[in-house]
Amino acid sequence: MWEPSEFGGKRYVALPVDKLWLPDTFITEMVDEDKSPMAPYLYVHYTGKIIYGKPLRIVSSCNLNILYFPFDIQKCSFVSCEVIFCELTMKRRPLFYVVNLLIPSSFLMLTDILSFYLPTHSFDRASFKMTLMLGYSVFLLIVKDLLPNNSAGTPLIAIYFVVCLTFMAVSLIETIFIINIVHEKTNQSRAIPKWLLPSTGCEDHTSELCSSPQLLTLQSLLRKIAEDVEGIKQHLDQRSQEQGLKHEWIRIGHILDCFLQSIYVLSFVIFALTLTGTWVM
């Protein structure tokens, strides 16, 4: 150390690197040869402080926790001869992944939810859901290269994609179930099970149709006219009952569809809120 006033105001001197001892700056996490350029001089300050501005090119390994991708924050530590410790914190910019992964996937899920408003007795809903599910599968094939590959763990965004695809499959199964109720049961003219009537608010009107006073009067008149007219009347009664059963099955299918839609939407909202809370925290 020296006083600058005694040496013409000189506050520091430049010395060759080989004139002073330098600490070992080898990084233990290095995975490549150190090809950093050497600085020929170092600077000695009048207070005794030594400044050596050597650039470092570090190629090191770091264990990444990709669970919260793309909202993850990574911390990588560097150790120099077990004496000098340095920690590097890296935060990913998630906007690219939000725009290209999360928003398109959310739009497809919203479209799947809105498809419940298609008519329950139409086969177009099943075709639409199958097309939507196929499109989502193609979307996953396209974006798989954007996801990090790490066998140590699965990111939450990958779990989100799998759950969304599962929701679409469940939605398609629900649609097939409703179409089977509306069409197959109607075409076969099956009677509505007794246990299903109170739960759906539907009632069997067959007894009213058969015990109507006007219908009884008509039956007595038809018996007096001819036996063949009686057969025509019975055929008309059967058609009327079949039409009544058809409308009841359609109503039951609509009620079940609304109930299953509510469960579907509620389950997805709970899942989305849980996943968002996990990402934020």
CATH number of the structural domain spanning residue 121: 1.20.58.390
Mean pLDDT of the region 168-186? 81
Phi-psi label, residue 234: left if phi above 0, alpha if psi -120 to 50, beta otherwise: alpha
Shared domain for 139 and 44, answered yes or no, is no
Mean pLDDT of the region 226-243? 62
Q: Is residue 246 part of a domain?
A: yes
Q: Is residue 198 part of a domain?
A: no
Q: Is residue 125 part of a domain?
A: yes
Q: Which residue has the higher pLDDT, 19 or 173?
A: 173
Token pair in block for residue 8? 């013409």
User: Per-residue pLDDT for 227 more than 70?
Assistant: no
Q: Is residue 212 part of a domain?
A: no
User: Per-residue pLDDT for 277 more than 80?
Assistant: yes
Shared domain for 170 and 256, answered yes or no, is yes
Looking at the DSSP bridge assignments, the partners of residue 89 are: 75
Residues in the chain: 281
Token pair in block for residue 16? 């060759």
pLDDT given for residue 162 in this prediction: 92
Question: Quick count: other Cβ atoms within 10 Å of Cβ 177?
Answer: 14
Mean pLDDT of the region 43-56? 80
Shared domain for 167 and 269, answered yes or no, is yes
Residues ≥6 apart with Cβ < 8 Å to 153: 65, 66, 67
Shared domain for 36 and 99, answered yes or no, is no
CA 99 from chain centre, in angstroms, equals 14
Shared domain for 50 and 130, answered yes or no, is no
Backbone angles phi, psi at 127, to 5 degrees: -65, -40
User: Per-residue pLDDT for 115 more than 80?
Assistant: yes
Shared domain for 166 and 254, answered yes or no, is yes
* pLDDT tens digits for range 138-162: 998 888 888 877 656 778 888 899 9
Shared domain for 157 and 251, answered yes or no, is yes
What average pLDDT is seen over the chain? Answer: 75
Shared domain for 102 and 51, answered yes or no, is no
Which residue do the tokens 């992964």 mark? 101
Give the count of domains, the chain: 2
Shared domain for 53 and 105, answered yes or no, is no
pLDDT given for residue 48 in this prediction: 80
Q: Is residue 215 part of a domain?
A: no
User: Per-residue pLDDT for 63 more than 70?
Assistant: yes
* pLDDT tens digits for range 17-35: 877 777 666 666 666 676 7
Q: Is residue 214 part of a domain?
A: no
Confidence of residue 236 (pLDDT cuts 50, 70, 90): low
Confidence of residue 203 (pLDDT cuts 50, 70, 90): very low
How far apart are the C-alpha atoms of 59 and 34, rounded to whole Å?
8
pLDDT given for residue 170 in this prediction: 92
Q: Is residue 188 part of a domain?
A: yes
Confidence of residue 219 (pLDDT cuts 50, 70, 90): low
Which has the minimum average pLDDT: 57-61, 254-258, 277-281? 57-61
Shared domain for 122 and 261, answered yes or no, is yes
Which has the minimum average pLDDT: 80-84, 126-130, 208-212? 208-212
Q: Is residue 69 part of a domain?
A: no
Mean pLDDT of the region 239-251? 66
Boundary (domain end) residue, out of 15, 40, 61: 61
Shared domain for 48 and 110, answered yes or no, is no
Shared domain for 34 and 145, answered yes or no, is no
User: Per-residue pLDDT for 166 more than 80?
Assistant: yes
CB 182 within 8 A of CB 124: no
Domain that holds residue 186: 95-192+234-280
CB burial readout 5-27, b (16+ within 10 A) else e: eeeeeeeeeeeeeeeeeeeeeeb
User: Per-residue pLDDT for 168 more than 90?
Assistant: yes
User: Quick one: CA dihedral 94, 96, 102, 106, positive or negative?
Assistant: positive
Q: What is the pTM of this model?
A: 0.59
Which has the minimum average pLDDT: 39-43, 105-109, 141-145, 187-191? 187-191
